[in-house]
Structure 1
Amino acid sequence: MKKKSLRFLCLISVITTFISLTACNTAKNSDILKEPSSNESGELVSAPTYNPVYSESKNNEEKKEPVEKIKKDTSSTTDKPVEKTPIKTESSNEGGTTISNENNSTEKLDYRNLNNTKISWWFKPNKLHVTPEVNTKLDFDLNKYDACYVGDTDRKVLYMTFDEGYENGYTGKILDTLKENDVKAIFFVTLPYLKGNHDLIKRMVDEGHIVANHTNHHPSMPTVTGTEEKFNKELKDVEDEYSKIVGKEMPKFFRPPMGEYSEKSLAMTKNLGYKTVFWSFAYHDWDINKQPDPVKAKKTILDGLHNGSIMLIHAVSKTNTEILGDVIKEAKAQGYEFELLKDN
């Protein structure tokens, strides 16, 4: 009897040891097979860090958005783009240039399967007074989405545009200069700018300028294409505030913040009735702490003039404010005229 009890206890001990070893090995294997976190995997799952080059915000903080995965833009300013395809234009009888487009219809585009890879707008400056090379090395046509970067390239005409993310105290003087020289411009404004500068907005409209859409939160547009509601709200909130201030609908021109876009974002913008306006001239004028020398800045702008140029100027710039009158006078002396883009 004692022998049987001893054998039974030995068997129990062996089984217990086996179970313990198995549990230990299972725990170790579980640790080995655990999938890495999103940070460990290196996948880009949030909005990219904003490029301060085209940001009007004083604080260019990285915005974390639960958005679709976006491939990093690998294009370079040294890439040789394909032949440019400027948007078709017609001269209007009001002294402006009408953007005309064979794809300009009220039919909504199906954007759901379009590429949402972020593309950054860039151009190569030249001193030949010809349309610069831009990043049109794309697998789609900008015209299809009512997007342009030049106006009428058959005439010596310039289109002056200002980006307004916040007021730095210079817009009033800029408006004075434009009025003195009989020049009209497009001001692309954000929602915070609209809310904080009712008097300036009313003055812009009263003096014949166009106030256009530059979004509510100044996002990289591919990061807000996840839902149509979120995307549309970025533009519609600006429209609504403009209507409250001015008492009429906002003109349908749009400039993507930081010049960042995708084929999908362009299609969604077009579905809202907008024409996307890029540029064929810009320079380092946005950094209020590193303003360019006025003499050098004036030369840079005048060297970059060409037929149909859409000029991107930042109204936060002290230098721009000081040289604007001279630039306009010299451009006119060279035979250039200043016009507004028309959307119909």
Structure 2
Amino acid sequence: MMCLFLTGCAGMAKSRAGKNGNVATPGDCRVQKEGNQAADGSGGQNDSTDGRKGGNDNGSVEDRTEATTEDMTLLRDYDAVSNKKFSWYIVRDKNHGISDCDHSFSIEQYDAYYVDQDAGDDKVMYLTFDCGYENGYTEQILDTLKKHNAKACFFVTQTYIRDNVELVKRMKEEGHQVGNHTVTHPSMPGISVEKQKEELQTCADYMKEATGYRMDPYFRPPSGEYSERVLQLAKDMGYKTIFWSMAYLDYDVNNQPGKDYVIEHFDKYYHNGAIPLMHNVSESNAQALDTMLSNLTELGYRFVSLDEMFEK
């Protein structure tokens, strides 16, 4: 098996690279090359009766968390919750089994998930895209998803919403989800609880104001950096935190893996219940998506909303 450390999605600075190859964004996600051990490494609360993933009534953060946010975040003693920083990583399984991950603590106790552990024989996949800025490929990605009747969750920053209101509206209109990726893409364990809360709430509020749609109740930690405290706050605010069980180096627009690499990566590591991390800025993803979805569809896979994962 292979160990893969990641640190989330593309950063936020406007000096970030565009299609023509400008300066790469500071804070972009980092991934160790395959085969080497790395050195650098939101819908509401769990209210299920069987201890699984918790219920989901398909409501939004605003629908389900007004009372939760006001009550839980004020009552919680966050100083009592560990703020030790972790960087999400996965260990790939070459036999199409579920990727392994860090077991320092159970993330599910905080309504955090990286794979559908209950998928069993169900050939289901939950596509996710991190969107820190627009690089000209999201429209093509949406066209391809529509062609295959595939759903995805797009994790957006406030900056992305601000600069791409019509694209975000299109995501919602075509049945995709739009999750919270914060306002400024900070390392969440490195800021105060009050600032963490502001990052999440302001992004959600802006989503509603700018697009008329409410933020879906899913959160992806910037740069894949998290702590138990961060996950607890997100849960208290009504979010499920979504990590990933598949990923590769796709965020650097000046060092793209290529179309064939992306296709081969999915062919090699697909697994039931997978949550792939992709970046909307990637030319390789845009070029490979049609073939990748076709190949997996032939194997019987379907690509559904995260809501379905929590409706079981």
Alignment-mate amino acid for residue 89 of structure 2: W
Match of 2:147 among 165, 180, 203: 180
Whose RCO is larger (CA < 8 A, sep 6+)? 2
Match of 2:119 among 135, 148, 153: 153
Instruction: Give TM-score, length-normalised by structure 2.
Output: 0.77
Which residue of structure 2 aligns with residue 191 of structure 1? 158
Match of 2:173 among 203, 206, 212: 206
Pairwise mapping of residues 267-282 of structure 1 onto structure 2 (< 5 A)? 267-282=232-247
Larger radius of gyration: 1
Q: Is the contact between residue 53 and residue 286 of structure 1 (CA under 8 Å) also seen in structure 2?
A: no
Q: Is the contact between residue 77 and residue 122 of structure 1 (CA under 8 Å) also seen in structure 2?
A: no
Cα shift at 1:56: 3.5
Alignment-mate amino acid for residue 226 of structure 2: Y
Pairwise mapping of residues 1-344 of structure 1 onto structure 2 (< 5 A)? 54-57=9-12, 58=16, 60-61=25-26, 77=38, 88-89=52-53, 106=68, 108=72, 109-136=76-103, 138=104, 140-151=105-116, 152-154=118-120, 155-224=122-191, 226=192, 228-342=193-307
Cα shift at 1:229: 2.5
Q: What count of residue pairs does the alignment treat as equivalent? A: 259
Which residue of structure 1 aligns with residue 30 of structure 2? none
Q: What is the alpha-carbon distance in structure 2 between the residues aligned to residue 56 and residue 257 of structure 1? A: 8
Give 5+ residue unaligned stretches, structure 1.
1-50, 63-75, 79-86, 95-104
Instruction: Quickly say closer, same or farther: Cα 1:316–1:162, change in 2 above 3 A.
Output: same
Q: Is the contact between residue 52 and residue 60 of structure 1 (CA under 8 Å) also seen in structure 2?
A: no
Q: What is the alpha-carbon distance in structure 2 between the residues aligned to residue 93 and residue 335 of structure 1? A: 27
Which residue of structure 1 aligns with residue 31 of structure 2? none
Q: Is the contact between residue 7 and residue 87 of structure 2 (CA under 8 Å) also seen in structure 1?
A: no
Instruction: Give TM-score, length-normalised by structure 1.
Output: 0.70
Give 5+ residue unaligned stretches, structure 2.
1-5, 17-23, 28-36, 40-50, 59-66
Cα shift at 1:245: 2.6
Which residue of structure 2 aligns with residue 25 of structure 1? none
Q: CA RMSD in A?
A: 2.5
Q: Is the contact between residue 132 and residue 156 of structure 2 (CA under 8 Å) also seen in structure 1?
A: yes
SS of alignment partner, residue 166 of structure 2 = helix
SS of alignment partner, residue 269 of structure 1 = helix
1:38-93 CA deviation, whole Å, 9 max, x = no partner?
xxxxxxxxxxxxx876333326447xxxxxxxxxxxxx759xxxxxxxx9358999
Q: What is the alpha-carbon distance in structure 2 between the residues aligned to residue 292 and residue 313 of structure 1? A: 12
Cα shift at 1:110: 3.4
Q: Is the contact between residue 214 and residue 256 of structure 1 (CA under 8 Å) also seen in structure 2?
A: yes
Cα shift at 1:113: 1.4
SS of alignment partner, residue 276 of structure 1 = strand
SS of alignment partner, residue 292 of structure 1 = coil
Q: Is the contact between residue 213 and residue 255 of structure 1 (CA under 8 Å) also seen in structure 2?
A: yes
Q: Is the contact between residue 56 and residue 163 of structure 1 (CA under 8 Å) also seen in structure 2?
A: no
Q: Is the contact between residue 9 and residue 132 of structure 2 (CA under 8 Å) also seen in structure 1?
A: no
